A and B are shown apart, each in its own frame.
Chain A
């Protein structure tokens, strides 16, 4: 089976900058593999995630995501790939403040028919799929109708995880999703996220500064070793 992510001799420069922000000789994430990517600030972690998500254009080298070479895809096709197969979790501001918890969770299914059909196939309906994920991630069902603004940060990140996971994506990308949580909530959140990913056989590329989390992952990758570009070392 192909890898979820595979890159060889990848390099990327931000427009207007001479030296590449990212230079990766080879890096792969297998299907269902959970990878912890760590590295200091400015080392290009977010840049890498953006390239994988297909929102940044103009890389050199090979970048395969779920079997597609992103360089060969039109922007609309990459948008579709992301909508159907990738879940994304931000550090914060993951939710639309004017939608309820349930509506935020099911958002991915509204943007992609494929996601909706898969959610229905797995759980019977989009709502049931949302509730199942809420159960798994430790969110009480009574929260479903609440506005997301009424949630704690920890609960908000769980809703974000549920939204990323609904409709059976093949890859979850998480950019420091725990940095706004305190240690206790962080442990709990990461345990539940990893358990859910394992249950559903979803690959996870997880970025964090926090070395304390590495124990939960199949593999730990250090950005300093991965990124051959030394532009970040300067600052």
Chain B
């Protein structure tokens, strides 16, 4: 009891340096945990963006490119595929289901997808989870739109909200289709995938808003869509298609068939494999993040060592004094070790709290900006191990100078040297 009190008062006496050290450890721990969390959750989210779909088919391009625009809605398709090819391919007996996707329009920076109702039945993410409606239902009327959770949250759109689409994908665009307002009929539940940041309309709606337009420019004198005229809305091209096979085994055969398709150049990719390929490209980033956080941890420990060493002369006198009062050398030793361990422990605990605070604060922005859905939960067991090791290492580092002082006090006796 006396020793704990003494250690506590001694620490209190040096509270500024001690607090700064604990804080620097806390920051390094928080940074380490947060980087780890973002890394693992991003990886998890990422590799599960699209599951249950066996193939993604689009105009011929690199597989990463096809994946990026069709699944992540990053960049644009260089070419479209024709509706006839889509029809023909999806009629293959090996195909269980297919969902067409038509991209190219946006609303306030969020991408618009023209598709069919089948999209909501077949799009799967995570552990083969289906999309769910938080409110409303699928589109039914021509100008119905189903919005992702992030779109609803960020723009504050309720059901029945009216909105208009713009051509192109910029947040600001002058070629608006604002003569044709859409109505929100459904809001999807959050998924942590790009679906959250998309608006979904029917293929017919895409055709309707492009009547009288060509290559993103309104044609002079051409007739736009008007509901009264009952114009024919025939889809001629789509951007890509999601395909489910009747059996996984047929995937490779069908993929070859698509890649060898003679009527137009097409590509088919297996999303799982391409997602992994994409992730491995990001591995440099991943390991950079990891080494940064490791370095930060090390610098936290060095800071601790510096503080312990810097206070050593003062402490040597303290130790000589305690020895003169009859304190056993062992107590003096554990006083120094315990102190370093305690600073590290406090630093780690504060760091863990800081980490959770940071994650709670950052979660909406991460979902908003990067589509990373943070799963705020208990620390993973391996992290407990790491943190435990960290505290032990800190106590050990504290023990090194303690050992020096211990030897010196034994050797010098009670002489107070510098």
Binding site for B on A (CB under 8 A): 15, 46-47, 49-50, 53, 55-57, 75-76, 79-84, 86, 88, 90-99, 107-108, 110-112, 175
Q: Write the chain B residue with the least CB distance to A56.
A: B413
Chain A residues lying within 8 Å of B9, measured Cβ to Cβ, are 96, 98-99
Please name the 10 residue pairs, one residue from A and one from B, whose CB atoms are nearest each other, closest first.
Answer: A83-B326, A50-B413, A98-B13, A88-B324, A82-B326, A55-B413, A93-B317, A56-B413, A98-B9, A79-B328
- Whole-angstrom distance from the CB of B417 to the nearest CB of chain A? 10
**A98 proximity list for chain B (CB < 8 A):** 9-10, 12-13
- A75 and B324 contacting across the interface, CB-CB below 8 Å: no
Decide if B318 touches A90 in the complex (CB within 8 Å).
Answer: no
Q: Which residues of B contact A94 (CB under 8 A)?
A: 321
- Residues on B with C-beta less than 8 A from A92 are 416
Given A49-B414, A53-B413, A98-B13, A90 and B325 touching (CB < 8 A)? no
Q: Find out whether the CB atom of A55 lies under 8 angstroms from the CB atom of B323.
A: yes
Q: Which residues of A contact B180 (CB under 8 A)?
A: none
- Is B415 at the interface (CB under 8 A from chain A)? yes
Report A44 CB to chain B, min CB distance, Å: 12
- On whether A108 and B325 interact (CB within 8 A), knowing A53-B414, A88-B414, the answer reads yes
Nearest Cβ on chain B to A59's Cβ, whole angstroms: 12
Chain B residues near A (Cβ < 8 Å): 2, 6, 9-10, 12-13, 317-318, 320-329, 409-411, 413-416
* Distance between A172 CB and nearest chain B CB, rounded to angstroms: 11
Asked if A90 meets B2 with Cβ closer than 8 Å, knowing A50-B414, A96-B318, the reply is: no
- CB pair A79 B414 closer than 8 Å: no
Label chain B's interface by main secondary structure. helix
Give Cα A112–Cα B320 distance, bound, in whole angstroms: 17
User: A90 with B324: in contact, given A55-B413, A75-B329 (CB under 8 Å)?
Assistant: yes
Collect the chain A residues with CB atoms within 8 Å of residue B321's CB: 90, 93-96
Query: Could you tell me the distance in whole angstroms from the C-beta of A118 to the nearest C-beta in chain B?
Result: 14
Known: A50-B415, A90-B414, A91-B416. A110 touches B328 (CB 8 A): no
CB < 8 Å A-B pair total: 75
6 contacts between A and B (CB under 8 A): A55-B409, A55-B413, A79-B326, A83-B326, A96-B6, A111-B326
Contact A76 B416 (CB under 8 A): no
Q: Which residues of A contact B322 (CB under 8 A)?
A: 111
Within the complex, the shortest CB–CB distance from B326 to chain A, in Å, comes to 2
A149 to B7, CA, bound (A): 19
Contact A112:B326 (CB < 8 A) given known A53-B414, A55-B414: yes
Contact A75 to B413, CB < 8 A, known contacts A90-B321, A96-B318: no
New A-B contacts (13) at CB < 8 Å, excluding given A55-B414, A82-B325: A46-B415, A49-B414, A50-B413, A53-B413, A55-B409, A56-B413, A82-B326, A83-B326, A93-B321, A95-B321, A97-B13, A98-B9, A111-B326
Residues on the A chain within 8 Å of B416, using CB: 90-93
Chain B residues with CB under 8 A of A96: 6, 9-10, 318, 321
C-alpha gap A46/B417 in the complex (Å)? 12
How far is it, in angstroms, between the C-alpha of A92 and the C-alpha of B326 when the chains are bound?
A: 18
> Chain B contacts of A81 at CB under 8 A?
326
CA distance A81 to B326 in the complex (A): 8
Alpha-carbon separation in the docked complex, A37 to B2 (Å): 35
Q: Which residues of B contact A110 (CB under 8 A)?
A: 2
Q: Which residues of the other chain, A, contact B318 by a CB distance below 8 angstroms?
A: 96
When A93-B321, A110-B2, A111-B2 are in contact, do A84 and B415 touch as well, CB less than 8 Å?
A: no
Q: Which residues of A lie under 8 Å from residue B6 when comparing CB positions? A: 96
